[in-house]
Amino acid sequence: MGIDFGTRRFGISISDPGGVVAGNPSVIDVKSEKQAITKIKELVEREAIEEIVVGLPLSLSGISGPQAEKAADFALRLSSACGIKVVLWDERLSTVEAERILMGSTRRARRKKETRDQIAAVIVLQSYLDRRGRSA
């Protein structure tokens, strides 16, 4: 499972059973981190997820800022709650790539943000799966 970390909205992507292709995008809208963890844990159990990849929002220079620290803290709490491995993955430019994909879309602004978060989650998970596949 791949997660595009946010404060109120989390993009979610789930790979195929073989861990080759990211897909099945969705968005979780929440009011708190605790609610996000509860909803993600339900997904993990329902879909028999074995590993979670959380996008780490580093700056373009690779520096970890406040949002990256929040994502890292979230990943620790998520791992503890779900009892499975949670990996942090550099997500630099995933949102930019998602915006590029959506360029010219006529979707309303709110729906466009949800779609962007879904695409970003797919990009994060697919880049992780691709790297893992090359090193296997």
The structural domains of the chain, ordered by start, are 2-135 (3.30.420.140)
Segment 120-133 mean pLDDT: 92
Smallest CA-to-CA distance from 24 within 109, 120, 122 is with 122
Please, where are the H alpha helices in 1-136? Answer: 33-47, 66-82, 94-102, 109-135
Q: What confidence tens digit (pLDDT) does each residue in 28-79 have?
A: 999 999 999 999 999 999 999 999 999 999 877 888 889 999 999 999 999 9
**Rounded Cα–Cα distance for residues 52 and 13 (Å):** 10
pLDDT at residue 86, rounded to an integer? 98
**Rounded Cα–Cα distance for residues 91 and 78 (Å):** 18
- % pLDDT > 90, the chain: 66
Least confident range from 36-40, 69-73, 84-88, 90-94: namely 90-94
Mean pLDDT score across all residues of the chain? 90
pLDDT at residue 77, rounded to an integer? 98
**Rounded Cα–Cα distance for residues 123 and 129 (Å):** 10
pLDDT at residue 91, rounded to an integer? 87
12 near 3, Cβ under 8 Å? yes
pLDDT of 122 above 70: yes
Identify the top-confidence range among 2-16, 53-67, 109-123.
2-16
pLDDT at residue 106, rounded to an integer? 65
Coil vs helix vs strand at 136: coil
pLDDT at residue 109, rounded to an integer? 55
Interhelix angle for 66-82 vs 33-47, to 10°? 50
